Structure 1
Amino acid sequence: MSGPLKGIRVIEIGTLIAAPFAARMLAEFGAEVIKIEAPDTGDPIRKWRKLHEGTSLWWYLQSRNKKSISINLKSPAGIDIIKRLATDADILIENFKPGALEKLGLGWDVLHALNPALTMVRISGYGQTGPYRDRPGFGAIGEAMGGIRFTTGEPDGVPPRVGISLGDSLASLHAVMGALMAVLRVKTGQGQGQVVDVSLVESVFNLMESLIPEYDLLGHVRQRSGGSLPGIAPSNTYPTRDGGYVVIAGNSDPIFKRLMQAIGRTDIGNDPKFARNDGRVANVALLDAAIAGWTSSQPIATVLAVLEQAAVPAGRIYSVQDIVADPHYQQRDMILSAELPGGVKVKMPGIVPKLSETPGEIHWQGPALGAHTDELLAGLGMQLAEIERLKQEGVVQ
C-alpha cells in the first residue's frame, strides 16, 4: 500500500454503510484497513442491492483495499484477537448501538488502556450521549431529524428522500475528518488518542446552513421549495422543449446580467431593482417565468450551449448512463475498470478527492469473507497449528 496514510492501521468493526464507507476512504489513501466480519454471513451489505453471482456489486466497491478477517464476537478468544489487533492500531471505527462494544469487552476504557494512542471513531444514530442515545438509528432517520427532509421536495408533496443513503454517507465524511484530526494530534505529539463521536442526525444537521439563526431571530421556518433555492435567485430547475430539465444558477450579480442577456431579456438584466440578490428574491416568480419561457422554447442542447458561451453555470440532470458516457468523468478517472472474481470486468467509481502528489489507489475489490484471516493471525505471531485450532473451535473463519 502507498499513499498519504501509508503506515496507518485501521480496525473496522462495522456493517452496512456509515463505518464501512469511512474506512473505505481511508483504505483508498493507503491505510491498512482490517475489516472484522462475522463468520458465515459477513457484512450484510454483501447481499444488498444488485448482486452478481451471489455477491453485491456495492460490496466490491465499499470494501476495496480492505482486509477481511472473520471473527466470532461471541467467543472470548475472538475478542482477545480484536484486542491484540487494536493494540497496534491507530484508528478503530465502529457503528454499533452505543454500549454494544462495552458489552463485548471492547469499550473505550479497555481499548484506551491497551493502546493510549488509539483513536476510536464511534458512529451512531444520535451520538454516545443524550436522551436518544439508546434509540436505534439509520441514515434515513438522521435525514428526517437532521432537517434536510423537511426542506426537500415540492411544497405540496410528501417530503421525499434522496435516492441514496445520504445520512450514512454524511456521517462517514464527518468520521473521516474527525479520525484524521485526532490521529494528527497523536502523531504530532500533542496528546493521546480520543473518542470521535459522530451522530447521523448531527452530520445531516451540520449541512443546514443558516436554518437556526433564521428561525431564532426572524421566526422563519424554511420550507420545501421544489427545484429552487430559497432566498437566492435565480437558481432553479427549468424545463426544455424536448422534455428535459436544466439546472441554472444565475444568482450572483454579474452572472445574472449575463444570463438575462443570453436569453434576450436585457430589460430585466438592466433593471436596477434586480441588481442585487434581495431585489431578485422579492421578484423571483417573475424571473423564473422569464427563464422558463426561454428554456421551454429551446432543446436542452441549445440551452446548455448558449449558457456555456455566456459563462452561466448550468447543467442537465444526469442519469447513470449520462455519467458513464461523459468525457469529463472519464478524463478525470472517475469511471474506472475493475476485475471481479472470475475475471469479469466492471466499471467502478474513481477516487475522491484528487491529490497531486499522493493520489488514492485501488489495489483490490472487496475481498471474500475471511480472505485475510490467516495472514492477520500470523501477523500476531500465531503458528499454523494455533490458527487451525481457532478455526476448528469456530473462533475464526
Structure 2
Amino acid sequence: MASGALQGLRLVEMGQLIAGPFCGQLMADHGAEVIKIEAPGVGDPMREWGRNKPVWWPVVARNKKSITLNLRDPRGQEIVRKLVAKSDFLLENFRAGTMEKWNLGYDQLSATNPGLIMIRVTGFGQTGPYAPRAGYGSIGEAMGGIRNLAGDPSTPPSRVGLSIGDSLAATFACLGALMALQHRNRTGQGQVVDSAIYEAVLAMMESTIPEYTEAGFTRERTGAILPKVAPSNVYSTKDGEILIAANQDSVWKRMAEAMGRPELGSDARYATHHARGENQVELDAMIDAWTRTWSSGDLLAHLETHGVPGGKIYKASDMLEDPHFKAREAIIKVKHPAFQNLWMQNVFPKLSETPGEVAWAGPELGQHNEEIYGDILGMSRPQMTSLHDEGVI
C-alpha cells in the first residue's frame, strides 16, 4: 500500500476518464486504498489515451487497484453493495440518475453503511433542470465562464490546453470528501458530496459576478494580461519570452532600479497600482524595449538580484532540467513494465509528517480481482471463475 495521511481508508471508484478518477488519484496519492471498478474486457478509456503511447493511464490510475465488474448485471450490483459496505467512500462520475437506476443510490447503500461518504462528480450536479444532461468538462468550462476569458480578444474563446474543468471538479470533490470525513469523525454520519464541473469552474471566477451586478462590467478575453494590473506580462528577450510580475508598488520600485531608471518608481504615471493600470500599454512597451536587449538567462538573474519575480514559460523539457524541480522531486521516475521507468509528476501537496508517495503506476485491467474478491469479499476461486466466465467480473 502507498503511505500517506489517508492510509487505512478505502475508496471504491466507479466511472471513467478524468472528472471522477482524478479525485481518486489525489486520494490514492495520500495513502487511501482505491479500488477502481472497470468493465470486463474493456476498462477505462484512459487506458488508450496519450500522444502515440498510452501514458495517461499510469498517472491517473497510480496507486489504485483494478477489478473488473459488470455494473449493468444485477449480480455485479450486488457485489458493489457488499464492497461498499466494507468501504469509507464511493466515488462515481456517471450521469445523474445512473446509480439510482442500478439500485446503487445513496439511500440504498447507506442503509447498510451509514458512515458511507458518496462522492458524485457530474457536469451539472445532482439537482436542477440540467442534472440529467450529459456534461463533459468542455461544456462545464464554457458554462462556468472560463472559456469566455481564455485566449486573445481577437480570436474566438479558447481553452487552456488541459482538461481543467474535469480536474477542478475532481479536486473540489476530494476537498468535499475530506470535509465529510471530518464530519463523520465527529458524528459517525456519512453524506453525499455533490461536485459539478460548471460550479467548480464558477468557483474560480474571482470577482466576475459582482463586477457585473454592481458595476455593469463584463470581463472579457485579454490575452496575456489582466487589464489594469501592470506590469505583469510576457516580454521578449534575445532568445525567447519570459514573464515578469512587478505589479505591486514596492516591487515596481525594485523593477525601476533593475531597469537603471529608479526615477520611474516615483513617477506619477507609474508610482501607484491605479496609475500603472491607466498607463499599462505604454509601460509594457517600455519594459519590452528594455528586455529585448538581454538574453533570457542574464535578465532573469539580474531581476533576481533586485527581488523582481520573473521566469521562463516552461515546457516539459524545461521542468525536467530545472534544479528546483529536481531538489523538490517534483517530477519522479516510476517503475512501469511497458515503459521501464516512466517520468510523471509527484504527489502534491507535501505533508511533513505523512507524505504521500507513488507506489506503483496504473494497474493492469483486473489485476486485483483475486485480492479484492477473495480476500475482502471472501469469494472462493470456483465462484470467481464462474462469475468471470459469465461476464460478471
Q: Partner amino acid for 1:210?
A: S
Match of 1:357 among 350, 353, 360: 353
Map of 1:70 onto structure 2: 68
Matches of 1:60 and 1:138, distance apart in 2: 22
CA distance in 2, matches of 1:154, 1:74: 46
2-structure distance, mates of 1:177, 1:34: 19
Answering whether residue 242 of structure 2 is matched by residue 241 of structure 1, we say no
Quick one: which of 322, 325, 332 aligns to 2:328?
332
1:3-18 aligned at under 5 Å gives the runs: 3-18=4-19
What's the TM-score, normalizing by structure 2?
0.97
Q: 1:253 aligned to 2:252?
A: no
TM-score (norm 1): 0.96
> What is the aligned partner in structure 2 of residue 24 from structure 1?
25
CA distance in 2, matches of 1:141, 1:310: 44
Task: Give the stretch that moved more between structures: 82-91 or 233-242.
Answer: 233-242
* Letter of the 2:202 counterpart: F
SS in 2 for 1:274: coil
Instruction: Indicate if the aligned counterparts of 2:269 and 2:279 stay in contact, CA closer than 8 A.
Output: no
Mapping for residues 108-123 of structure 1, pairs under 5 Å: 108-123=106-121
Secondary structure at the aligned position of 2:148 is classed as: coil
Please point out which of 137, 140, 150 is paired with 2:138.
140
**1:209 counterpart = 2:203:** no
Aligned residue type for 1:338: V
Q: What residue is the counterpart of 1:154 in the other structure?
A: 152
Matched position secondary structure for 1:73: coil
Range with bigger deviation, 281-290 or 36-45:
281-290
Q: Is the 8 A contact 1:50 1:58 kept in 2?
A: no
Q: Is 1:88–2:89 an aligned residue pair? A: no
CA-atom RMSD, angstroms? 1.3
Structure 1 segment 1-397 matched on structure 2, within 5 A:
1=1, 2-50=3-51, 52=53, 56-189=54-187, 191-242=188-239, 244-341=240-337, 344-378=340-374, 379-396=376-393
3-state SS of the aligned residue for 1:369?
Answer: coil
Q: Alpha carbons of 1:194 and 1:311: their partners in 2 closer, same or farther (altered >3 Å)?
A: same
Instruction: Return the offset for 1:51.
Output: 5.0
SS of aligned partner of 1:150? helix
Partner Cα distance (1:284, 1:203) in 2: 31
Superposition deviation, residue 272 in structure 1:
3.5
User: Number of residue pairs matched?
Assistant: 391
Q: Distance in 2 between matches of 1:114 and 1:389?
A: 27
CA distance in 1: counterparts of 2:305 and 2:175, whole angstroms: 38
Where 1:339 maps in the other structure, the secondary structure is: strand
* Structure 2 counterpart of 1:385, one-letter code: P
Q: For 1:271-300, what per-residue CA distance to the aligned partner results, in whole angstroms no more than 9, with x for missing partners? A: 144332112111111211111111122211
Unmatched segments (≥5 aa) in structure 2 = none
Distance 1:382 1:65 in 2: 24
Specify whether residues 51 and 40 from structure 1 end up closer, same or farther in structure 2 by C-alpha distance, changes over 3 A only: farther
Contact 2:243 2:311 in 1 (8 A): yes
Q: Which amino acid aligns with 1:155?
A: P
Distance 2:320 2:6 in 1: 29
Alpha-carbon separation, structure 1, partners of 2:133 and 2:107: 23
**SS of alignment partner, residue 88 of structure 1:** coil
Ranges in structure 1 where 5+ consecutive residues have no aligned partner: none
Percent identity between matched residues is 48
CA distance in 1, matches of 2:37, 2:227: 45
